[in-house]
Structure 1
Amino acid sequence: MEFDYVVVGAGSAGCVLANRLSADPEVSVALVEAGGKDDKLEIRIPAGFPKLFKTEYDWNYSTAKQPEMAGRELYWPRGKVVGGSSSLNAQMWVRGHRLDYDQWDVPGWGYEDVLPYFRKAERRVGSNRGGVYGEAGPLVVSELRSPNVTTKAFLKACEEMGFTRLEELNGPSNEGYSPTPVTQSRGRRWSAADAYLRPALKRPNLRLVTGSTVRRVVFEGNRAVGVEREGGGQIRARREVILSAGAIGSPWILLRSGVGPADELRDEGVEVVRDLPEVGRNLQDHLATGVYVECKQPVTLVKADTLVNLLRYVIFRSGPFTTNVGEAVAFIRTSPAEPAPDVELVFAPGPFINHGLDKPEDHGLTVGVILLQPESRGRITLSGGQPVIDPAYLTSEADVRRLVEGLKVAKQVFATSAMRPYAGGPLAPYRDPESDEELAQWVRERGETLYHPVGTCRMGTDPGSVVDPSLRVRGLERLRVVDVSIMPTLNRGHTHAPAIMIGEKAADLILAP
């Protein structure tokens, strides 16, 4: 098989590329995905995403043991399905803060440069105060159709605490609180596959290849000419190979292809094509902890999985099945010295414990606390041809301090008069730690990923960066990386929005004369 472009990974950025590149009928595109089709009911139903974890739709990764996290190996779900993690995520559309993109300090990637690409992607349904959102793009962004009564109380609690009410969360500054905008269309998940891929599959010049794991990029000299699949067989590229396999998959493929730290590749028995020491380095992730309390009234998502609610969803597209679980957010600074929010609070009208895999019998509420700008840096390496994920959580003491301060604020939220009718005592496994030492220990013992790894194929203008500002892999021809692995630092938001933006901007870069 031979195509003009071979795109590896049908996740958020890959779906964008498949659509934009194949818009030219003279160009042929292959989109290669390791997973299968996104036809499972739980993908369509917004509240169903935890049921997809640790299934065939999930890569089901685990990290290396984390010394600063009580020696635990943490579960990292990633989408192994058409749509990638946009088919498994909580549908939260949160671009981040202006500073997130300006701090990259990469020409063409500042906030004002990338803003048009966010807007190009968006099709805002409902309120669009100030024209913040685009209104003609393929990706539907809407409000939740049936927010929980306790979510309204959380928003009132944020007001009581003096936080700023954001009329639109995705403006230049996200400091404040807001209901969560979601990628849903009439109460149904609207993934990158729904927005970009499905309409484009009608084109004869686009081919989707599922169930096909890419083993390596094929080179002739320093020129990428295609990819080799597990089990044999190649797909050739006349113009470019584009890796859109995510912050784990893209560096993993590069390393297996002989692109990375030369000494480490030789130790793995991999022939070196290009010595790029930073491939796999600069790994960052949003680490999450939280406060769980009992709910005094039986109004939460606990026991909402009923036939009546299913029928309500099927007939009216309303009710608790439309929830994304993280129904409201607040972005705060834990210190006046912070230039922008450093912690996010996410409210869930139910006990979201252990990625939603644990199902408590008692009604409960959650305020998640997320570290937005970690100073810790980890890496992806190879061992026996498989990726070793070491996020190096909490290796910076500043990360611990910020999370401890965030937990204190979350506890205060539940102590407000607005939450008093609902918030009860601590809900197991939460044990209501009080001192800084106890709070830090809670983070170490129970902290988990918020599913936002980035940075492992860092973009920059310096010779040490993995890709240049046009996302071309340094020292190689006809090879780019287009996904969140190119982000130099994490955004103060969620990573689905920048993944889509990166795909949109990359398409213009690739097609530029």
Structure 2
Amino acid sequence: MHYDYVIVGAGSAGCVLAARLSEDPGVTVALIEAGGQDAKKEFRIPAGFPSLFKTEADWDFSTTEQEALAGRELYWPRGRVLGGSSSLNAMMWVRGTKEDYDDWEVPGWSYDEVLPYFQRAERRVGSNAGGVYGSEGPLNIEEQRDPNVTTRAFLKACDELGYRRLDELNGPSNEGYALTPVTQKKGRRWSTYDAFLKPVLGRPNLTVITDVLVSRVLIEDGRAVGVVHGGQEVRAAREVVLCAGAVGSPHLLMLSGIGDPEHLAEHGIDVVRPLPAVGRNLQDHLSIGVFRRCPRKVTLAGAETVGNLLKYLSLRKGPFTSNVGEAVAFLRSDEALPAPDLELIFAPVPFIRHGLEKEAAKEEGITIGVILLQPDSVGSLTLASADPADPPRIDAAYLTGESDLKRLVFGIREAEKLMNARALEEYAGENYPPYPGSESDELLEKHVRENSETLYHPVGTCHMGVEETSVVDPELRVRGVRGLRVADVSIMPRVNRGHTHAPAVMIGEKAADLIRG
């Protein structure tokens, strides 16, 4: 099989890139995805996303034992399906701040330079104060259709504490509070597969190959000429582009002989291009929950009723439209910081262990998740073996940064103030386990170590830069290998002060222009 471009990974960036490159009828594009179709109804119903975790649509990764987190191995869900993680995430469209992109200090990637790519993708439905969003792109960005009454109370609590109300969350600064804009269309999930790829599947120059695990990039005389899967080759006359994410892209580079020579030698892999930075610079957002019982029957606990299902199917209203993380607030742990380093996410349900605690999901309760947006901790991803089917070793090195634990405790105390605000007094009852209360910093530190989880935002493992030690250059070309690029969140030099779905889409949009020249 021969094509002009071969793209590996049909996720948030890969779907965008395949759709854009195939706009040119003079080129042929192959998009290869390890997973399959988004056939289950849970892909459509927003509130159903936790039920997709640990299914065939999920890579179901785990970290190594995290010493600073009581030796726990943390579960990392990642999408193994058309649309990638955009098909099983919480649909929150949160770009980050101006400082995020300016601080990368990479030519072509400042905030003002990437903003048009966000807007090119966006189709804002609802308010668009100041023209923050694009209005004609494929990806619907909607208002919450039916926010829970406790979510409205949370917003009032934020106002009560003096937080700034944001007319639009995705402006240059996100400091303040707002309802979460969501990637939905008329109350159903709108993944990058829905928005970008599905409408163009009929193009004769676009081939989508599913349920195929790529084992390595085929490199001849220093040039990427295709990929290999199951002993078969898919050839690329122009370029191979990896869009396999912060786990998949570095894993595939190493399997292809691109990485730290000593590490590759340990697994008997011949070195094609020594590039020690591959797999390093891993960053992620760590989250810890503050949970309270709710004395009133108003939360998402009773959502699964026939009446609510009929309400969703007929009107696209009710609790099934919820993305769970219905509102957010961004704040600084230190006024001297240039931008927020903490996020508070409100959920009208006890969202414990990724929503996999089924009994907790049936309890009337509320959650404020505290997220560390700018961790000092930096981890790494390495090979477990030379077998492509073996997942890599993921060491996120959580809480190894000097200030991380202290700032999370600060965030918990802010969450407690909100829980105790007048606006939430009829909804925030006693503490709900495993949250122990905030009697002392020591108790809160123990809670963080024993109960924190990922917010699903790993980045940085193929980081971009102007320095020769970076994995990719500012045009996303892998250093020292012609015809090979990486275009996903693994190229981000620093994790953003937001969520990573939006920048993944932006990277896919910008990569298309870089490739087309």
* TM-score bin, normalised by smaller chain: over 0.9
**Cα deviations across residues 310-344 of structure 1 (Å, max 9, x unaligned)?**
11111111110000000000000011121110000
Aligned to 2:346, the other structure's residue is in SS state strand
Contact map agreement 1:178 1:329 (CA 8 A) in 2: yes
**Cα deviations across residues 211-242 of structure 1 (Å, max 9, x unaligned)?**
0011000010210000001x221100000000
Matched residue, 2:334? 335
Distance 1:27 1:160 in 2: 57
Distance 1:284 1:483 in 2: 14
1:366 pairs with 2:367 = yes
Matched residue, 2:193? 193
Matches within 5 A, 1:439-450: 439-450=444-455
Q: 1:9: how far off?
A: 0.1
**Deviation larger for 90-99 or 300-309:** 300-309
Distance 1:209 1:440 in 2: 47
2:77 partner amino acid: P
Matched residue, 2:119? 119
Q: 1:435: how far off?
A: 1.3
Q: 1:355: how far off?
A: 0.1
Q: 1:421: how far off?
A: 1.0
2:412 partner amino acid: L
Matches within 5 A, 1:36-51: 36-51=36-51
Matches within 5 A, 1:99-498: 99-229=99-229, 231-359=230-358, 360=360, 361-385=362-386, 386=390, 387-498=392-503
**Deviation larger for 74-83 or 331-340:** 331-340
**Cα deviations across residues 243-293 of structure 1 (Å, max 9, x unaligned)?**
000000000000000000001101110010000000000000000001000
Distance 1:178 1:204 in 2: 43
Distance 2:324 2:64 in 1: 28
1:444 partner amino acid: R
Aligned to 1:475, the other structure's residue is in SS state coil
Matches within 5 A, 1:83-98: 83-98=83-98
Q: 1:433: how far off?
A: 3.4
Matched residue, 2:76? 76
Matched residue, 2:514? 509
Distance 1:105 1:402 in 2: 26
Contact map agreement 1:346 1:369 (CA 8 A) in 2: yes
Aligned to 1:219, the other structure's residue is in SS state strand
Distance 2:308 2:204 in 1: 41
Distance 1:136 1:396 in 2: 42
Unmatched 5+ residue regions in structure 2?
none
1:4 partner amino acid: D
2:364 partner amino acid: H
Contact map agreement 1:290 1:410 (CA 8 A) in 2: no
1:447 partner amino acid: S
Aligned to 1:238, the other structure's residue is in SS state strand
Contact map agreement 2:436 2:444 (CA 8 A) in 1: no
Aligned to 1:290, the other structure's residue is in SS state strand
**Cα deviations across residues 40-90 of structure 1 (Å, max 9, x unaligned)?**
110011011000000000000000000000000000000000000000000
**Cα deviations across residues 440-490 of structure 1 (Å, max 9, x unaligned)?**
111110000000000000000001000000000001100000000000001
Distance 1:320 1:384 in 2: 44
1:211 partner amino acid: D
Distance 2:78 2:32 in 1: 16
Aligned to 1:193, the other structure's residue is in SS state helix
State the 4+ residue runs in structure 1 displaced beyond 4 angstroms: none
Q: 1:109: how far off?
A: 0.1
Distance 1:430 1:228 in 2: 48
1:25 pairs with 2:30 = no
Q: 1:5: how far off?
A: 0.2
Distance 1:96 1:76 in 2: 22
2:98 partner amino acid: R
Distance 2:338 2:410 in 1: 16
**Cα deviations across residues 369-411 of structure 1 (Å, max 9, x unaligned)?**
0000011000110021330000000001201111010000001
Contact map agreement 1:433 1:442 (CA 8 A) in 2: no
Identity rate of aligned residues, in percent?
Answer: 64
Unmatched 5+ residue regions in structure 1?
none
Distance 1:362 1:179 in 2: 23
- TM-score where L is the length of structure 2: 0.98
Aligned to 2:246, the other structure's residue is in SS state helix
**Cα deviations across residues 128-178 of structure 1 (Å, max 9, x unaligned)?**
111110000000000011100000000000000000000000000000000
2:85 partner amino acid: S
Distance 1:18 1:509 in 2: 13
Q: 1:434: how far off?
A: 2.3
Distance 2:488 2:471 in 1: 13
Distance 1:232 1:292 in 2: 50
